[in-house]
Each structure stands twice: as C-alpha cells, then as structure tokens.
Structure 1
C-alpha cells in the first residue's frame, strides 16, 4: 500500500486527475486499497428489529467505543443512540454523524442529544419516506409542534425559496424545565437513494449554506470556547452523511493548504465510523464534488 503522503493532491492536481481518461479506474482502485486497510478499535453492537412490510428483520448495528456519543444519565438501553463524534479540519468533534431516527424512542434520544450538545445545525440527507414507517421527527407544517418526552419541537419558520434542492426550517426546541434552543434544519431533497447520486452543484450549495449558518451560530456560547457540532444524518449514518463530512473537511484543507488527500481523510474516518463509505460510487462522488468546487466555485 502506498503512503498517504504520496496521495496528496494540490487543487490543480486533483483537476488533472479527474480529467484523465482512466480516472474511474484510478479512483476505484484507490477505494479498494482503502477497503483493504484493517479497521481497529473496540466495538459495541446492538441488535434491533427492522420492519419490512408485515415482517421483521433482525439486524445489528456496530460502532466504535472511542468516539461514541453517550447521552447523560445513561443507565439503560433506552438512552442508546447510534451516533459518533467526527473531527473536522482543525476542529475536534466538528460533527455528530447518526442514523435518521425512525421510532419514538430513537426520536426522543435524537432530540435529547441535540439539546445536550446545543446543536444549532442539522443536515438531513434522506427523505422521511425512506424510513420504514415514514416517521418524521419534526412537523413539516409551520406553527405546529410535536412532543417527545420532556421536549417540545415547534416548527417556527419554513424557508421555502432558498434553493430548489433543499429546504431550511427554523425549529424551536423547548425542555419542560424552560431551556430553549433554536435549530436550523437543512433537508436535502435531491439524494433520494444511495445508488442515485445527486448533482455536485446542488450538494455543494447545501454544504456551503450549512457552513454559512454554522459560522453565525453559537454566538451566545462561543465566549466559553465551546462550538457545537453539526449533526449530519442519513438513512444508515454510513454513506451520505460521511460523504458530507469528507467533502467539507476536504474543502477546508483546500482553502487553507491548497491541497487535499482523500485517501487519508477517508481512511481516518473509517476508523471513526464503522463500515462507512464502503461504496466506491460515494468515494467517486467525493472526487467529483471537489472537482466541481475547484473548477466552478473557486472561479467565481
């Protein structure tokens, strides 16, 4: 296996690589090399039943202990959440990556996690219909509310006209003890299935809008030195969500260093989110998104 340093590309080098006639083979071979790297760590596992039509399929989730999100007062499995801290570029725990909550229990724990971490940005990369029962963890009607345990989630404002590919919703999370948190929720509508990739420009527009909101978030707690993580989720918490992190980290590296190493970034993230980014198509999409960024966005 080649060293990670040998795979570092400048922005212009990345453009040249993707423009090559054999780029697809190169990227697939590189992804295969990543898959051959041994994943090490202490694992946790949990079995759960997934509803499929009128039957149930027993499945198992596996995650790493070292960066697992642990909810406060965790005394039983009812406080379990399949979520992992992911470091950004020079920003520890920049993201929390998780599965889209799809039951009353997981939705309660999802919102508990949001409030405990003071998260102000949620990026959702699948539609609610992709969940087994089509359950949504917020009400899509402006002015409406949902109650989950001790938390009330109010749909404060729906911003319809920001972009045709995603919707931004302002939510107000209120705990019964009076604590309140405003959350900006980004719903990406153009990545409806894992096997059908979205437009790179639509994806980057979403990413940059989330980055813009993130820069302006947390002014009230920034004085303490704490920067809340962006919560990113998709149907399995392994593919689309991790693509978002990879591209965001890579763009930060290009902006600061004018170079990027996708091989190194993805290899590292696979040590933090078990079995993530296993699809070579998603790895290729990361290259295409960075190519689009380098050739289009940086020219504007």
Structure 2
C-alpha cells in the first residue's frame, strides 16, 4: 500500500509543474492526479488486490540463544569479509560507469541544432539539417497508446524561456521503434521536437505564448533572408521578371518551365513541401505583365487546378499584382499559347471565386481561382474570415494531381501563412499534433522568408485554433430544417461562449467619453472602437458617436449595423447613420415609438438635419415606408 511518504516523494518530483491534487477514495488508496495537462500519474495500490502480508504469532515456539564456538566465529568472519570485498568491487565499478556516463558525450544528430539555436539566433544555413519525417500510422497515433510526456526541466519562473515549452506541448508515439520516426517526409529529421503541440492543447499554448511574448522569441530563431544559392534569379535576363529586387527563388527548389531554350525556363516560384509530398504547393509572386504567359505555362505543365490569391491587384497606391484572368464571363483572353475564358465569377464578402477554362491547342482544363480580398499587406486578416475561406477552398472539387499554387505579391508572407494553415491542419488531423516552428523552418528551406512577420507567425497559431476548435457549421439551405435541432444549437452556442474573446478595456474609449456617456442606454454595452461607425451628417447638437457596430454579411457591400433602440437624445443620430450609409432597410425589434417613426402619413417631424415622414404602411406585413430628406 502506498504510504504518505511515497506521495510526498511524488510531490517533490513534480514541484513547480502546476500542482498535484490528492484525492482520497474511501480507505482503499490515495490517488494523486497530475493535472498539468493530460498526464495521469497513478500512485496507489489496491488493498484488496495487494494485501499486506500478515504474520500469525499464535503458537510460536521460544528459541534458545545460539551457542557458537571460536572456530565457527572464524569461519563466519571469513565469509563476511569475502562478501564485503565483492560489494566493494561492485561499488567501484558502478562509480566508474557513472563517471563515464556523466562525462562529455558526442551529441546526437539533430540535438546540437536545438542547443545552438537557442543561444544564437543569427545562425548560418549550414547549421541546419534538413527536417526528416517518417510515416506515422494515423490509427495507432491517435490510440490510447499515444501519451503526453514531460521532457526536460519545467520552470515556473516568468523570466524563464522554458515557459515557452510546456509538458502539454509534447506528443510521443509509443508505437514507434525509431526515435527519429516522427513524421512523413524522407529527407531529414525533426529538428524542433520541443515545439510539438498536441492539437487539444493548442488554445492554451497559444494563449500562454502570447502572454509570455514567446512568438517574438521563436520567430527570431528562424533563418532570415537568402540562405541558399539563388543564381538564376539574379541573372540579368531574369531580373526583370522579379517583382521585387530582393526576393529570389532558391535554385534547388525553383520551378523550371518546360521550354526549348534553357535560358527562358525562369519563373519566380518554388515548390514547397508539406508532411506528405515534396511538391505539395507552389509559392510564387503575383504575376507581372511580362510574366503572364510564364504563369499560365506553369499552371499548365504542373497540372494545377487550384490557384489561391491572397492579395489585391492594388493596395493603396501600390500595384501588388497584374490581372491574369479575363475581366468578365463574356470575354476570352489569349495569353501566349493559352486561351482563357471565365465560366463563372461569384463574389463573397471576403473572397471571389472564379472558374476559368484554360485551353491550349485542342485540350482544355478547368482551373478554380479563390481570391481572398481582405488580407492587408504585412498584416493579418480576421481569423474567422480566413478559416471560412480555407474551408471553402478545401470543399471545392479538385483532381488533386497537381500542386496548389498560392501567391500574394512577393509570394512569401501571406503565401507562407496560408500554406502553413493547410499543411499543419492536415498534419494535425492525421497525427494529433502540430509544430508551427518546424513547418515554418521547412518552408524557409524551399523559399526565403516564408511567413514574413512575427504577427503572421502568431496568426498561424490563431487560425489553427479556429480551424481545429470551431466546427464547420454551414448548412445547405435544403438541409436546414432537417438539421435544426435544439441540442445542436445549444452545443454551438456553448462553443461560442467558450471561444468568446476577452477584449481590452482600452478598445471602448469613445463610449466612455464624458459627452458620449448620456448616449448609451446601458453603460456596460459599448461599441468596440475598431468597429463603430462614425457619423458624418450629425447636427449642431451632436457629434460623430453612436452606440452601434458594423458587422459583415455574406456578400460584398452587405454590411449590417447593429445599434440600440434610440434614446430621446439619440434619435437624430439614428437617422444620421441611415443617411450616411444609404441604408434602405431598418429592422426594429421593439415597440414602435412615434418619436422615432411617424405614427401616420399625416405625421412628420424634423431635427437639426432631417425631415422624416411616413409614406405608407402595411399592417399585415408590419411594414412602414419612410421618407428621409436632408435639410
């Protein structure tokens, strides 16, 4: 039976690791549970299964003292001396072995990289060994034999870098017979094992890393700039094909066009690996006017059927990409040897889908282009928008025979972020863990500076949390009534509550201003400064503030304003909001007041700027038509 001393030893062993809880279950045993993340350490023995040995002293005979003569004492002394000599020899041998074991060791292949990396962010590319991966059996990997383990020392100091590496970040496949056999690529090995994160722990790990500023530390450890030969991109005849003067494709992974002349096979594009294919993706720059035919040549020869565009043609006053598709469904475009016809174009709030027929000689193919339109350059998009866009991409038909082409403007920052989402989401579903640090390093072995900023790096964590944690909830309209289930609604609502963000109090400054406090119906329901509309046609007695926020609909230009029912002193602000944004529909979920809506066609009222009158009404539809005229 486990003693209290055993429990105390276990407590000392895990000192500083979030804590051990002692739970008493009857009188049978003590069960300390390590709640650090997933590891359960059971330190009890059942009394029923392992009873203490009992000794029955009833009827025991009394033994007389032994009498030993001198010869016997000499014999016993000799035996004891021999035994002590043997024990001494064994102890000396053990000490020698321990000394050798604790002495300098030759580092295991791949281990030295991690140690050097932590202390020397500005390493050269020859420090790296190509990451190598071995095939993982999904069924076994996700079985109960996959356990969470603690590796290394865990510190609770806020200043310690080991706070970035928690025991819940690490996943061990106990089915593997090869310590290096963790992934599924054939070139090298896992050089960042300490950054493995179990998918179930990703939300808490991401939160902890943001709190500890770990994203910045990790990002600083990655290789930056040009680390491999790139002579083709620097050749004079190819330099004019580069959109940016400092972004070149590496020679070893560049896409080579099928041409008769080797001097014309250049395009600023690289093959990018995922965890199962060496040429899973092509990362490229936004096409230029003089590279449009090269771009479509690459699409054709690589049998690409999906193009992901994560930039706009113009951003501000800067050209980011040249248009490489037809302007409308009514026009054909001839680019080099290829004829393009747009069969379909659908516009959503955050993306545009285009279906293009690509023809060369007597053969034609269908290419699907998904154009994400809400990603600011060198910045990060809304995570929900990006994940919904990604799900739309993955649900589209694809023959899967060619790589997915992804481009932004330079083909490194936004492109790398999207590729990381796809590769790590697929890998996480297959194995139960992800390693963002490692995959970013993998991409940077194939193309420079993939994931360009620390903000984009942190966004990979956020969008993976969203992708893994928030289920796909879109329902086809024909299935809506069949899917309508109160339990489903409750589960989705609870998930939303669990994922509700904690917003900084500094994001509500406008609503807290002294002059705006009287405009709020409830003082703890204030609009977020980043999403509130600014009034423009307010009168002399008001300002640009209204307690309202703008939310997205599913179509471009279909924004919706959500606001409180007007107070007596904010009726004019409501009509300013309607007028400024050309709102044609108002839905009121409250009793109508004649101070807000004229009660009859003969009733009208005005304020500083507007005259509001009632034109007609439909009692059956509970609908009123209003005329709003600016003075």
Q: Contact 1:173/1:181 (CA < 8 Å) preserved in 2?
A: yes
Unaligned segments of structure 2, at least 5 residues: 1-116, 119-190, 473-490, 493-631
Separation in structure 1 between the aligned mates of residue 321 and residue 452 of structure 2, nearest angstrom: 26
Q: Residue 329 of structure 2 corresponds to which residue in structure 1?
A: 142
Instruction: Quote the offset at 1:23 in angstroms.
Output: 3.4
Equivalent pairs, count: 280
Greater relative CO (CA pairs within 8 A, separation 6+): 1
Q: Find 1:95's aligned residue among 256, 281, 285.
A: 281
Residues 118-138 of structure 1 deviation map (CA, whole Å, 9 limit, x = unaligned): 111000001112463863111
Secondary structure of the 2:439 match is: helix
Secondary structure of the 1:271 match is: helix
> Normalising by structure 2, what TM-score?
0.42
Instruction: Quote the offset at 1:232 in angstroms.
Output: 0.5
Separation in structure 2 between the aligned mates of residue 21 and residue 204 of structure 1, nearest angstrom: 21
Please tell me whether residue 201 in structure 1 is matched to residue 201 in structure 2: no
Q: 1:191 to 1:260 in 2, by over 3 A?
A: same
Instruction: Quote the offset at 1:192 in angstroms.
Output: 3.4
Separation in structure 1 between the aligned mates of residue 244 and residue 229 of structure 2, nearest angstrom: 23
Residues 132-161 of structure 1 deviation map (CA, whole Å, 9 limit, x = unaligned): 38631112312212111111111111123x
Q: Find 2:201's aligned residue among 1, 13, 32.
A: 13
Q: Find 1:62's aligned residue among 248, 253, 258.
A: 248
Unaligned segments of structure 1, at least 5 residues: 52-56
Secondary structure of the 2:389 match is: helix
Q: Residue 184 of structure 1 corresponds to which residue in structure 2?
A: 368
Q: Residue 152 of structure 1 corresponds to which residue in structure 2?
A: 339
Q: 1:146 to 1:24 in 2, by over 3 A?
A: farther
> Normalising by structure 1, what TM-score?
0.85
Separation in structure 2 between the aligned mates of residue 149 and residue 100 of structure 1, nearest angstrom: 18
Q: 1:270 to 1:74 in 2, by over 3 A?
A: farther
Please tell me whether residue 43 in structure 1 is matched to residue 237 in structure 2: no
Residues 84-104 of structure 1 deviation map (CA, whole Å, 9 limit, x = unaligned): 11112313311111001021x
Superposition CA RMSD, Å: 2.6
Q: Residue 353 of structure 2 corresponds to which residue in structure 1?
A: 168
- 1:258-273 equivalent positions in 2, closer than 5 A: 258-273=432-447
Secondary structure of the 1:80 match is: coil
Q: Residue 266 of structure 2 corresponds to which residue in structure 1?
A: 80
Separation in structure 2 between the aligned mates of residue 271 and residue 134 of structure 1, nearest angstrom: 25
Structure with higher Rg: it is: 2
Residues 197-230 of structure 1 deviation map (CA, whole Å, 9 limit, x = unaligned): 11111111121222222xx322xxx7xxxx2111
Instruction: Quote the offset at 1:49 in angstroms.
Output: 5.4
Q: 1:72 to 1:134 in 2, by over 3 A?
A: closer
Q: Which moved more, 1:288-297 or 1:163-172?
A: 288-297
Q: Contact 2:296/2:338 (CA < 8 Å) preserved in 1?
A: yes
Q: Which has the higher strand share?
A: 1
Please tell me whether residue 245 in structure 1 is matched to residue 419 in structure 2: yes
Q: 1:231 to 1:24 in 2, by over 3 A?
A: farther
Separation in structure 1 between the aligned mates of residue 307 and residue 195 of structure 2, nearest angstrom: 32
Q: 1:101 to 1:12 in 2, by over 3 A?
A: same
Q: 1:297 to 1:42 in 2, by over 3 A?
A: same
Q: Contact 1:49/1:58 (CA < 8 Å) preserved in 2?
A: no
